[in-house]
C-alpha cells in the first residue's frame, strides 16, 4: 500500500522490517529476518516467521544474537540489489567470527541471477525463492558446505491455510494472489514471482474473520495485480463483497490494481460498499502512448484517463496515487512532458517515482538504456517537485473539512499528539495522549496541511 507523499523511490528499497515471531524458549535456534522491498515482501516475511515459529524457531531483533540470519530481498531495481549485496558483506563479517551462524537469502533476488549471486556471496548457506518457504526448516537444516538452494517456482503455491504472523496494529495485509502474468517490458516480477494464482476465497474469508476476532479493523488485500484475482467462480468484485460481509472489519483497501483489470463490477462494489475505502493506487508508469506501448502496459493514456473519470464519478472524494518510471528506453523529452501533462491532468494525491533500471531477463533488457543517469535524475527531480506542489494543493483543499479517522496510536512526532488515517489513506495527527484507544474512529476537522500529512482537532 502506498503512503501519501511523493518521493518514495528510495524508501521502497530500504530495509523495511524485522522478524517478529513468538519468543523462543531457552535452547531453541534463534532467527533474525530482515526485509527489503514492497508490501508483498513484508507479507511474505510474516509467512516465513509463521513457518519458522511452527518449526520451533525463536526470533531475535539483532543479527549478533541469531543462529540463523535471513534476508528477504527485492530485485525490482538494481539499486535494491546492490544494497542487499552490501548488507550481505556486513553480515559475512559476522559469520566470519561465528562460522556456525547460517546466512540465507530469500525472495526475489534469490530467484533472479542466483548463480552470480552465489559467486558474489560464496558464504551464503541458503538461497530460497518466494515459492519455497514451507520448506525453509528443511533447507536450514540441510545447508552444509554447499549452499542449500531451492528457487523452484510453483504454479499452485498460494500458502493458502498458512496464517502469517501479522504485526500487531489496526491494519492487516492479506495476500490474495501471487505472481503476475502481465510481463510489462521493464519488469522482473513475472520472472521472480512466477505465474498468477489466487488464494481460494473461502481461505481468505476465514483469515479475515480470524483477524476481525483478534481486533483488527482494517484489511488491505494484496497482490501484484490484485484485481486480476480469480479463484473458481469468484472474481475480484465478488471477493470484495465477501470480505466486506465479515463483521468487525470496518475498512477494506487493496493494492496494487492494474488499470486493465479494473472492471465495471469492481468499480460498482467500491462505489456501493461503504467498507471499501475511497483510495486507489493506480500505477500509470508513463503519460506517453508511445512509451506505454513500448512498456507493453496494455492501455493508452486515453483509456487510463477514461478509467480515472469513471472511478471519480462513481466514488466521491476518491484519492488517487500512482507509480511512474522516468527514463525508460526511448523516452524522449516530449514523452516525459506527456507524463508531466498527465500528472497535471489527473492531479494525484501522491506518486511513487522511479528511475528506470534495466533488469536482466525482462523483454526490454536487450534494448539497454537510452537515457543517461543524469537526465533520468533531472526528470525525476522535476516530476517530484511538480507532484509535491500538487500534493500540497490537494491537501490544503481539505482544510476545514471533517474526516473519520481510524486511530493507530501516538504520532511519531509532536508531543501529546496521536495519529490515524482518513478513508483516503491520508495521515492525520491530532491532540491526544493515550486517552483515545487505538482502533477507535474519531472525527477530525483538518486545520493544517503539508504535502505529506494533515493535522486536525477532534470534533
Ligand atoms: N503490479 C504493479 C503494477 O503493474 O502496477 C506494480 C508492481 S512493481 C513491484 C512496483 C513498481 O515498481 C512498478 O509500478 C514500477 O513503477 C516500478 N518498477 C518496476 N520495474 C521497474 C524497473 N525496471 N525500473 C524502475 N522501476 C520499476
Ligand atoms: Fe510488473 Fe507489470 Fe506485473 Fe506490475 S503488472 S508486477 S509492473 S509485470
**Residue bearing the bigger pLDDT, 12 or 275:** 275
Distance 183 CA to ligand 2 centre (A): 6
Ligand 1 pocket residue status of 76, Cβ below 6 Å: yes
For residue 154, give the C-alpha cell.
Answer: 510453483
Output the pLDDT for position 111: 83
Q: Give pLDDT, residue 154.
A: 93
pLDDT at 6: 27
pLDDT digits (tens, 9 = 90+) for 152-167: 999 999 999 999 999 9
Kindly tell me if the per-residue pLDDT of 22 is higher than 80. no
Determine which residue's CA is closest to atom 7 belonging to ligand 1: 224
CA distances from 298 to 184, 303, 304, 352, 421 (A): 9, 10, 10, 20, 33
Whole-structure pTM value: 0.93
Report the distance separating Cα 53 and Cα 55, nearest Å: 5
Q: Tens digits of per-residue pLDDT, 74-128? A: 999 988 888 898 899 899 999 889 999 999 999 999 887 777 788 888 889 999 9
Average pLDDT over residues 381-405: 98
Q: What percent of the chain has pLDDT over 90?
A: 83
Nearest ligand, CA 357: 1
Determine the average pLDDT of the residues in 317-324: 98
Ligand 2 and 178: CB distance under 6 A: no
- Helix (H) or strand (E) segment spanning residue 76: none
Q: Using a 6 Å cutoff on CB, does residue 142 contact ligand 2? A: no
Query: Does the beta carbon of 256 sit less than 6 angstroms from any atom of ligand 1?
Result: yes
Residue 325 has pLDDT above 70, yes or no: yes
* Three cell numbers written together for 41: 515482501
Atom nearest to 257 CA in ligand 1: 5
Task: Write out pLDDT tens, residues 228-265.
Answer: 999 999 999 999 999 999 999 999 999 999 999 999 99
Mean pLDDT value across the chain: 92
Residue 23 pLDDT level (bands cut at 50, 70, 90): very low
pLDDT the model gives residue 143: 63
Per-residue model confidence as pLDDT tens digits over 252-308: 999 999 999 999 999 999 999 999 999 999 999 999 999 999 999 999 999 999 999
Dihedral pair phi/psi, residue 393, rounded to 5°: -60, -45
Q: Coil, helix or strand for 194? A: coil
The pLDDT assigned to 21 comes to: 32
The end-to-end CA distance of the chain, in Å, is: 28
378 within ligand 2 shell (Cβ under 6 A)? no
Q: Return the pLDDT at 24.
A: 37
Q: What separation in Å is there between the alpha carbon of 258 and the centre of ligand 2?
A: 8
Identify the pLDDT of residue 115: 79
User: Grid coordinates representing 69?
Assistant: 540470519
The atom number, within ligand 2, closest to the CA of 183 reads 8
Smallest Cα–Cα separation from 458: which of 397, 402, 413? 402
- Burial (CB < 10 A; 0-12, 13-18, 19+), residue 105, is buried
Is 308 exposed, middle or buried, given 0-12, 13-18 or 19+ CB atoms closer than 10 A? Answer: buried
Q: In 10 A of CB 17, how many CB atoms?
A: 16
What mean pLDDT comes out for the span 387-406?
Answer: 98
Beta strands at 350-355 and 148-150: parallel, antiparallel or unpaired: unpaired
pLDDT at residue number 120 = 83
Atom of ligand 1 nearest to the CA of 323: 16
Give the integer Cα–Cα distance in Å for 29 and 213. 31
217's CB contacts (< 8 A; 6+ apart) are: 170, 171, 248, 249, 250, 251, 406, 439
Bond into 256 cis (ω within 30): yes
Cell of 193: 514471482
Q: Burial letters for 211-228: b for 16+ Cβ neighbours within 10 Å, e otherwise?
A: bbeeebbbbbbbbbbbbb
Amino acid at each position: 500500500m502506498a503512503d501519501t507523499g511523493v518521493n518514495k523511490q528510495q524508501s521502497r528499497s530500504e530495509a523495511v522490517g524485522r522478524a517478529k515471531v513468538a519468543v523462543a524458549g531457552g535452547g531453541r535456534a534463534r532467527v533474525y529476518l530482515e526485509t527489503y522491498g514492497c508490501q508483498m515482501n513484508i507479507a511474505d516475511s510474516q509467512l516465513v516467521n509463521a513457518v519458522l515459529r511452527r518449526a520451533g524457531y525463536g526470533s531475535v531483533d539483532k543479527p549478533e544474537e541469531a543462529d540463523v540470519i535471513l534476508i528477504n530481498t527485492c530485485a525490482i531495481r538494481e539499486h535494491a540489489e546492490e544494497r542487499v549485496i552490501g548488507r550481505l558483506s556486513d553480515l559475512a563479517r559476522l559469520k566470519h567470527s561465528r562460522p556456525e551462524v547460517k546466512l540465507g537469502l530469500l525472495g526475489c533476488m534469490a530467484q533472479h541471477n542466483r548463480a552470480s549471486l552465489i559467486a558474489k556471496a560464496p558464504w551464503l548457506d541458503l538461497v530460497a525463492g518466494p515459492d519455497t518457504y514451507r520448506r525453509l526448516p528443511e533447507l536450514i537444516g540441510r545447508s552444509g558446505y554447499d549452499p542449500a538452494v531451492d528457487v523452484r517456482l510453483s504454479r499452485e503455491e498460494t500458502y493458502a491455510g498458512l496464517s502469517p504472523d501479522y504485526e500487531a496494529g489496526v491494519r492487516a495485509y492479506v495476500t490474495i494472489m501471487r505472481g503476475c502474468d502481465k510481463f510489462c517490458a521493464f519488469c522482473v516480477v513475472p520472472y521472480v514471482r512466477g505465474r498468477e494464482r489466487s488464494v481460494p476465497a473461502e481461505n481468505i474469508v476465514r483469515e479475515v474473520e480470524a483477524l476481525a476476532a483478534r481486533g483488527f479493523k482494517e484489511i488491505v488485500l494484496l497482490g501484484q495485480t490484485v484485481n486480476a484475482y480469480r479463484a473458481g467462480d469468484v472474481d475480484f468484485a465478488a471477493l470484495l463483497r465477501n470480505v466486506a460481509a465479515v463483521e468487525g472489519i470496518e475498512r477494506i483497501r487493496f493494492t496494487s490494481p492494474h488499470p486493465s483489470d479494473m472492471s465495471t463490477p469492481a468499480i460498482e462494489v467500491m462505489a456501493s460498499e461503504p467498507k471499501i475505502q475511497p483510495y486507489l493506487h493506480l500505477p500509470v508508469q508513463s503519460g506517453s502512448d508511445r512509451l506505454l506501448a513500448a512498456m507493453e502496459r496494455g492501455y493508452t493514456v486515453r483509456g487510463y484517463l477514461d478509467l480515472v473519470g469513471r472511478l471519480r464519478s462513481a466514488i466521491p472524494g476518491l484519492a488517487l496515487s500512482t507509480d511512474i518510471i522516468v527514463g525508460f528506453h526511448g523516452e524522449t523529452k516530449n514523452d516525459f512532458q506527456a507524463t508531466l501533462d498527465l500528472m497535471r491532468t489527473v492531479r494525484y494525491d501522491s506518486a511513487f517515482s522511479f528511475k528506470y533500471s534495466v533488469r536482466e531477463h525482462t523483454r526490454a533488457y536487450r534494448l539497454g538504456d537510452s537515457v543517461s543517469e543524469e537526465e533520468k535524475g533531472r526528470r525525476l527531480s522535476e516530476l517530484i517537485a511538480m507532484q509535491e506542489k500538487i500534493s500540497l494543493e490537494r491537501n490544503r483543499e481539505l482544510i476545514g473539512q471533517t474526516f473519520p479517522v481510524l486511530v493507530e496510536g501516538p504520532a511519531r512526532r509532536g508531543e501529546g499528539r496521536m495519529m490515524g488515517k482518513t478513508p483516503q489513506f491520508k495521515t492525520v495527527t491530532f491532540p491526544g495522549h493515550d486517552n483515545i484507544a487505538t482502533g477507535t474512529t474519531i472525527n477530525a476537522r483538518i486545520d493544517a496541511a503539508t504535502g505529506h500529512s494533515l493535522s486536525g482537532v477532534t470534533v
